[in-house]
């Protein structure tokens, strides 16, 4: 699972992106899809009218803001809005002109109503098509970040005028605060931490002394975030930053792949907001972050003889992901290995996942998740502007390199990892993973999640993907080429 540095050429939501399942002919699913399109068209219309009203009143900024509310619309990317913490839309200044106040009221009403309609549709769609329901819910929370059922679905509740997770509320109730440098701290410790004092083993010492005490990874700091414990001998601050990125990945991954680790009944219950006081707790995840490459190599050499070639890896045996600070550190590696970890640890999996066949998807999906980045108020996944997709396009369209799925699905881990064409095979895997997420409005997205479940639980055969998508491999090969010719 290690992230080896390959010589990949570095040439480089649609929010209503309705995920049609394989059996798109299902009239009920089709009706959800159409209903969503109609809702979006009506919302676009209403926003446009309001924008025009703004223009006729000389409110240029407000017109722009109104138009932008529809959100980006690239069907080959998944956009997850960055949500505000504070409850309620931003308040206008007291001396705001009357027409601005009027616009604000209309604008918020439009957003609230659209979100409510979308969430209602999500609730109705979830039994037939969970990925479609998820997209509707995502669009609902984008339109109105204060839509309560959508907030609850995504694990938030109101606490002192903020949207908080259960974990955050527990921390706050025990008199802790989140500090952007030091993470969760007892409120009473903040001032001394900011004065470069540290509390360890029941006593206060200087930050320098603290750093000396934690210099060895075996006695490193353990920084805890909501779902992760990060052991490091680099610094508390870096572990906190790492923790924020990991939590972001966790949140997004656990929404997209919810049917990988949770039952249908559980997911339906979530959408219905029924009887839950806490989210399904996945086990706490363990990450080790070394202060430099040398320390990483030295400590892990015994567990992994090729350690010098890696820039991070997830080790199944210790259920831990390992990384190090320095110029070789990359968020992509972090997200890639942490994705392997999430698939391994969120449910019971078979030993030697992908050992016999279908190994490509294990790497393909990790390469998809490593595209996670923040852009213009959204977390974004995938897209033809991502380096992995670019490489996949070059291999297929320029080099005419392609291993047909009928053959590719028979490759197990050793077959791919010992192949001299490994970098090219990885590029193809990245391209195919994106294809399964986005092709034709996401028609294979639920099949992809089912495929991952089959592979990770060892119930897969080389024919599994064809069965789940309801398409023959030759057809999928053809569709993949069309998709990549974008």
Stretch of residues binding Zn ion (CB under 5 A), selected from 82-90, 344-352, 364-372, 468-476: 364-372
Q: Least distance (Å) from Zn ion to the CB of residue 363?
A: 5
262 vs 429 by CB, closer to Zn ion: 429
Render 14-27 in DSSP notation, one character per residue: GGG-----S-TT-H
107 vs 411 by CB, closer to Zn ion: 411
Q: Which residue has the tokens 């604000």?
A: 104
Stretch of residues binding Zn ion (CB under 5 A), selected from 154-162, 355-363, 383-391, 409-417: 355-363
Distances 379 to 138, 144, 165, 384 between C-alpha atoms, Å:
12, 17, 19, 16
Stretch of residues binding Zn ion (CB under 5 A), selected from 174-182, 297-305, 359-367, 374-382: 359-367
Verify binding: residue 365, Zn ion, rule CB under 5 A: no
Render 437-478 in DSSP notation, one character per residue: HHHHHHTTHHHHHHHHHHHHTT---TTHHHHHHTS-HHHHHH
Stretch of residues binding Zn ion (CB under 5 A), selected from 148-156, 189-197, 357-365, 430-438: 357-365
| Contact residues for 74 (Cβ-Cβ < 8 A; gap 6+) | 13, 14, 383
Render 290-321 in DSSP notation, one character per residue: ESSHHHHHHHHTTT-TTGGGBS-EEETTTTEE
363 vs 446 by CB, closer to Zn ion: 363
| Contact residues for 383 (Cβ-Cβ < 8 A; gap 6+) | 74, 76, 77, 371, 389
- β-pairing verdict for 373-375 and 221-224: unpaired
Footprint of Zn ion on 212-271 (CB under 5 A): none
Applying CB under 5 A, which of residues 59, 366, 447, 450 lies at the interface with Zn ion? 366
Verify binding: residue 433, Zn ion, rule CB under 5 A: no
Verify binding: residue 1, Zn ion, rule CB under 5 A: yes
Angle between helices 236-256 and 130-143 (to 10 degrees): 120
Q: Least distance (Å) from Zn ion to the CB of residue 444?
A: 22
| CA distance linking residue 37 with residue 211, whole number of Å | 56
Q: Least distance (Å) from Zn ion to the CB of residue 115?
A: 37
165 vs 341 by CB, closer to Zn ion: 341
3 vs 153 by CB, closer to Zn ion: 3
3 vs 405 by CB, closer to Zn ion: 3
Q: Least distance (Å) from Zn ion to the CB of residue 11?
A: 22
143 vs 361 by CB, closer to Zn ion: 361
Q: Least distance (Å) from Zn ion to the CB of residue 323?
A: 13
Q: Least distance (Å) from Zn ion to the CB of residue 320?
A: 15
Helices (H), 236-372: 236-256, 258-261, 264-272, 293-300, 331-345, 359-369
Q: Least distance (Å) from Zn ion to the CB of residue 241?
A: 23
62 vs 333 by CB, closer to Zn ion: 333
Adjacency order of strands within the sheet including 378-382: 77-81, 378-382, 373-375
Interface residues with Zn ion (CB under 5 A) are: 1, 363, 366
């Amino acid at each position: 699972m290690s992230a080896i540095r390959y010589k990949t050429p570095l040439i480089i939501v649609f929010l209503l992106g309705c995920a049609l399942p394989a059996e798109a002919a299902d009239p009920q699913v089709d009706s959800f899809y159409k209903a969503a399109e109609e809702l979006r068209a009506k919302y676009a219309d209403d926003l446009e009218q309001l924008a025009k009203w703004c223009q006729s009143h000389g409110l240029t900024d407000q017109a722009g803001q109104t138009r932008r509310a529809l959100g980006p619309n690239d069907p080959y990317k998944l956009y997850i809005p960055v949500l505000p913490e504070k409850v309620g839309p931003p308040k206008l200044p007291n001396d705001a002109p009357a027409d601005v106040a009027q616009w604000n009221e209309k604008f918020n009403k439009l957003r609230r109503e659209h979100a409510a309609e979308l969430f209602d549709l999500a609730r109705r769609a979830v039994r037939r098509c969970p990925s479609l329901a998820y997209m509707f819910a995502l669009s609902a929370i984008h339109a109105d970040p204060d839509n309560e059922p959508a907030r609850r679905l995504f694990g938030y509740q109101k606490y002192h005028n903020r949207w908080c997770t259960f974990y955050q509320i527990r921390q706050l109730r025990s008199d802790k605060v989140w500090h952007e440098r030091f993470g969760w701290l007892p409120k009473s410790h903040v001032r001394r931490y900011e004065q470069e004092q540290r509390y360890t083993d029941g006593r206060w010492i200087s930050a320098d002394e603290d750093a000396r005490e934690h210099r060895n990874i075996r006695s490193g700091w353990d920084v805890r975030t909501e779902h992760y414990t990060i052991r490091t001998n680099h610094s508390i601050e870096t572990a906190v930053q790492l923790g924020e990125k990991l939590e972001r990945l966790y949140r997004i991954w656990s929404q997209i792949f919810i049917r990988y680790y949770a039952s249908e009944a559980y997911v339906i219950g979530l959408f219905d907001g029924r009887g839950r006081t806490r989210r399904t707790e996945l086990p706490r995840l363990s990450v080790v972050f070394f202060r430099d490459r040398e320390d990483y190599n030295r400590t892990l050499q015994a567990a992994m003889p090729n350690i010098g070639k890696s820039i991070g890896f997830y080790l199944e045996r210790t259920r831990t992901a390992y990384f190090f600070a320095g110029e070789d550190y990359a968020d992509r590696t972090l997200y890639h290995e942490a994705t392997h970890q999430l698939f391994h640890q969120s449910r019971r999996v078979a030993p030697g996942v992908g050992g016999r066949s279908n190994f490509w998807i294990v790497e393909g999906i990790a390469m998809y998740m490593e595209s996670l980045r923040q852009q213009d108020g959204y977390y974004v996944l995938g897209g033809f502007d991502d380096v992995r997709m670019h490489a996949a396009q070059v291999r297929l369209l320029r080099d005419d390199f392609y291993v047909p799925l009928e053959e590719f699905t028979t490759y197990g881990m050793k077959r791919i990892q010992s192949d001299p064409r490994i970098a090219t095979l990885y590029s193809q895997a990245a391209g195919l993973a994106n294809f399964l997420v986005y092709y034709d409005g996401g028609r294979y997205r639920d099949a992809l999640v089912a495929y991952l479940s089959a592979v990770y639980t060892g119930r897969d055969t080389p024919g599994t993907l064809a069965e789940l998508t309801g398409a023959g491999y030759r057809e999928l090969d053809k569709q993949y080429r069309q998709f990549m010719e974008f």
